[in-house]
Structure 1
Amino acid sequence: MARFSPLNWPVVRQLTTPDRFGRGEAVTSRQTRDLKPRTATADRVVQSVCPYCAVGCGQLVYVKDDKVIDIEGDPDSPISRGRLCPKGSASEQLVNAPGRQTQIKYRAPYSTEWQSLSRDKAIDMIAERFIESRRRWWQDTDEHGRPLRRTMGIASLGGATLDNEENYLIKKLFTAAGAIQIENQARI
């Protein structure tokens, strides 16, 4: 540690430098001057959109060695102008959380254990159940013979972590399948 000297006092530096009001370099400690931003070591910066709500705040994703090291608000975003809510600020945990599930898990009815499934098997199971529910609960006409062409066995509740394009495609899919209960958490 350097030897203490009254010449290093901020008030002395303030009086002996052009920073007379003590708003800059004169009152900055050596420790503060030596600090480096945690994003300085990033290999690249990628622009993204926060995945949480439908606002669409801009994010800067800092990547080092193909791993996300930090996420900050994008000051060039016309929506958020560099600001993020607490959830958006913590969105780095979406990819780096140690408890994040990276496999598809399935628990059979009445089972107490989860089992891993392949992606193809899970998609096939979902498609079979979707088609069966649509077929079983299909209503072609009402009691007066008026056309309905709908199913009451399928509903959709979308999440705000999906972007606008994904929510648009989900809405189109469920509408084409005849579902009428289609809602999104971001709108509620």
Structure 2
Amino acid sequence: MSTQFLDWPVIRQLRGADKTGRGTAVMSQKTRSTTSRTATADGVAQSVCPYCAVGCGQRVYHKDGRVIQIEGDPDSPVSRGRLCPKGAASEQLANSTLRQTKVKYRAPYATEWQDLDAEEAMDMIADRFIEARRNHWEDVDPEGRPVRRTMGIASLGGATIDNEENYLLKKFFTAAGAIQMENQARI
């Protein structure tokens, strides 16, 4: 009898202690030598899933500066180690070749996007925010009642913003005089 024949899973099952064929008898050498991606990771970081307002905990495994696996965090009181299909696939979001990693800007009437430095982009946003507030400020309404508000600024949040971020946005926009604030998660 050849040694190849003796290495068949059914023969190993009948000859060995694994009579039901649910253990090592049915494992190939390739399967036995396979290790998980998490076993070879340089480290793990705790994170929160970016997709919805639930805030499921994630463990992000990385190696050589690259995300190699994302799993549910069993220590998370929110999700207790579970992730929905989108959350479980968020490793693809981090490693996609289509992922934008630079600030893109298209000037008015321009046809092409250009890369901007993040600091410059933040300054542009702040300048436009302040200008819109200044240009649309109302101290009183048409009947002379004090309103101290601006109608030139609004906030529309998505479902990925959690309660704490919504609270901070509400405080910030209220302090700036904005009264038009909405969030998808509240609807």
Task: Report the TM-score when normalising by structure 1.
Answer: 0.83
User: What is the SS of the residue equivalent to 1:92?
Assistant: helix
1:120, 1:77 → 2: CA distance?
A: 34
Identity rate, percent: 71
2:27, 2:98 → 1: CA distance?
A: 41
1:164, 1:63 → 2: CA distance?
A: 29
8 Å contact 2:151–2:179 — kept in the other structure? yes
> How many corresponding residue pairs?
186
Q: CA RMSD in A?
A: 2.4
Deviation of residue 18 (structure 1)? 4.1
> Which residue is equivalent to 1:32?
31
Deviation of residue 100 (structure 1)? 2.1
The answer for unaligned runs of 5 or more in structure 1 is none
8 Å contact 1:60–1:72 — kept in the other structure? yes
The answer for unaligned runs of 5 or more in structure 2 is none
Give the direction of change, closer, same or farther, for the CA distance of 1:24–1:75 in structure 2 (3 Å limit).
farther
1:176, 1:31 → 2: CA distance?
A: 62
8 Å contact 1:47–1:58 — kept in the other structure? yes
8 Å contact 1:61–1:72 — kept in the other structure? yes
Task: Report the TM-score when normalising by structure 2.
Answer: 0.83
Q: What pairs up with 1:98-117 in 2 under 5 angstroms?
A: 98-117=97-116
8 Å contact 2:54–2:162 — kept in the other structure? no
Deviation of residue 68 (structure 1)? 1.4
Aligned residue type for 2:26: V
> Which residue is equivalent to 1:95?
94
Deviation of residue 31 (structure 1)? 3.1
Q: What pairs up with 1:52-67 in 2 under 5 angstroms?
A: 52-67=51-66
